[in-house]
Structure 1
């Protein structure tokens, strides 16, 4: 009986510890590890009620930011998310329930820091929604790192809020696609890790970047759209899996506590100043 109890206790401990143990320990930081926050648009929600399936935002409005992020790792560049489509450049926000606009495209912002689109070797996306892949086709030579479940959903059809044509170079077989199962240590040294965070979409991902001076940063993807959603664990109505969404919120919160990391909610305008202001980079 005692042996069976010990076996059960050990198994339960290993199951609960697995998510944290899966995160690689950080090796010596590369000589050049930098993170830029890029402006990938603005979204006006004149009806913010979809941000919570418990009516927490009923009758309210919200203005959302839309951040993309460039990671330099030595001579390699990884782009995290590709923002709103260029067709929305200079479009006015309107009185529809949700409207979006783009002030600057990715190509012009990269040019401002001396980076050419062809230098982006990896394009990692948090999920397949159009506001996160809108300018992906600017980087057809990049390897697309996408959650395997999101890739399967795109290949099976056109999920809500997705426009597969925005990922045409990879869905047609012209581009190199790297489906991500679980977590992924991108460069093999623990400095940049894709985190599995399903719920918003089946293959939703977040990104952990361990900067040598700033410290650890977790880019949220759409695990949350506002900081105010995290503590009360508010789940949007459009998420594909409520239980998965809650588990992913909890996971990011626990990781942030364990690693003393700051969570950057990509759609929250209040989080924009938490990283260096473009064209400066966080180091």
Structure 2
């Protein structure tokens, strides 16, 4: 166990295997640490990211919830992989690609934070849970990739998590919401509305059963049965600039990018699916039409990520880039 810190957060993250060309040993589910480049500013001296919270609604119906942090760190955790045509995530590309799926854990003195929560563990025992179309993505189904098992490898329980921040509500990012009902969920108002009733042509990757339990079905003024921070903009989660959430209408109507500022590593940008690949970011390549809700908004997201990186240095971690995934360490190692 690492000593408890009262300083800035460390960062753990979880993700799945990468491309089909990788050696078989890399496909094995594991919790491994990440090793970010240390080019960013110190967390205590970082400037604020641009953005403003226009409206924030907090629904608190279950008391305090969330565990106390034991570390000041960040980790990436592995939850399987998806196999798909590369053109889905990079317009004009050819061939197949295997992309990682996972989540990130940030251990902050004020509480542990998850960014995304991966594929629903139900697919491990029920291959039909996703339906025929999404099932064709051939996700990993080893029992070891269950989110509880992966967290336990770094001595964390679902009940320890104070906040679950959703990059968006697609199957591979919001699947395990139901395992964190003692946590506070942080998402954009446009995203939750779209998830329950998507725009025509964009319903495929929302599985309502992944998040239906959030809805208060008993009646009353509050739509959420559980603790929720519903945003229409950006949020400095702990008020210390260490974890900053940025709204972007891009991949989905309410996608979120997270900026994590660490005392030794510097700035880490977690893009979720607002940016799929490093090459997409470098060359301003969009994904296929079915993978981007707002193409102009996605290019704006690329520009925002570049501005943060230019101003603060550090590193950019993509949810699904297999090459970037291979280049970093994974839990139980961590970024400080």
Q: Shorter-chain-normalised TM-score: which range?
A: 0.7 to 0.9
Check whether the contact 1:40–1:102 (CA below 8 A) recurs between aligned residues. Answer: no
* Compared CA separation, residues 116 and 246, structure 1 to 2 (3 A): same
Check whether the contact 1:42–1:102 (CA below 8 A) recurs between aligned residues. Answer: no
1:108 counterpart SS class: helix
**Are 2:232 and 1:204 aligned?**
no
**Are 2:324 and 1:271 aligned?**
yes
Deviations along 1:91-137, whole A, 9 cap, x unmatched?
7xxxx863222441111121122211111111111001011011111
- Root-mean-square deviation (CA, aligned residues, Å) is 2.5
Deviations along 1:173-224, whole A, 9 cap, x unmatched?
3212211222110011000011112210000011100011111100110012
What is the 5 A alignment of 1:161-172?
A: 161-172=205-216
* Compared CA separation, residues 44 and 279, structure 1 to 2 (3 A): same
Q: Comparing 203-212 with 178-187, which one deviates more in the overlay?
A: 178-187
2:74 counterpart SS class: strand
Deviations along 1:254-280, whole A, 9 cap, x unmatched?
111111131111101222255442112
2:121 to 67, 77, 86: 86
1:89 counterpart SS class: helix
TM-score by length of 2: 0.69
* Equivalence for 1:60: 95
Q: Tell me the CA shift for residue 151 of structure 1.
A: 1.2
Check whether the contact 1:264–1:274 (CA below 8 A) recurs between aligned residues. Answer: no
Distance in 2 between residues matched to 1:250 and 1:274, nearest whole Å? 23
Q: Which is richer in helix?
A: 1
Q: Tell me the CA shift for residue 233 of structure 1.
A: 1.3
2:315 to 245, 258, 262: 262
Q: Tell me the CA shift for residue 20 of structure 1.
A: 4.7
What is the 5 A alignment of 1:68-107?
A: 68-89=103-124, 98-103=137-142, 104-107=145-148
Distance in 2 between residues matched to 1:196 and 1:69, nearest whole Å? 18
Runs of 4+ in 1 over 4 A off after TM superposition: none
Distance in 2 between residues matched to 1:273 and 1:33, nearest whole Å? 24
* Equivalence for 2:72: 33
Larger Rg, first or second structure (1 or 2): 1
What is the 5 A alignment of 1:107-146?
A: 107-146=148-187
Q: Tell me the CA shift for residue 143 of structure 1.
A: 1.0
Q: Would you say how many aligned residue pairs link Structure 1 and Structure 2? A: 253
2:275 to 214, 224, 233: 224
* Equivalence for 2:297: 244
Distance in 1 between residues matched to 2:285 and 2:227, nearest whole Å? 36
Q: Comparing 103-112 with 164-173, which one deviates more in the overlay?
A: 164-173
TM-score by length of 1: 0.82
Q: Comparing 75-84 with 273-282, which one deviates more in the overlay?
A: 273-282
* Compared CA separation, residues 177 and 153, structure 1 to 2 (3 A): same
Check whether the contact 1:143–1:175 (CA below 8 A) recurs between aligned residues. Answer: yes
2:51 to 6, 9, 22: 22
Q: Structure 1: 5+ residue runs without aligned partners?
A: 1-18, 24-29
1:130 counterpart SS class: coil
Distance in 2 between residues matched to 1:78 and 1:41, nearest whole Å? 20
Check whether the contact 2:167–2:187 (CA below 8 A) recurs between aligned residues. Answer: yes
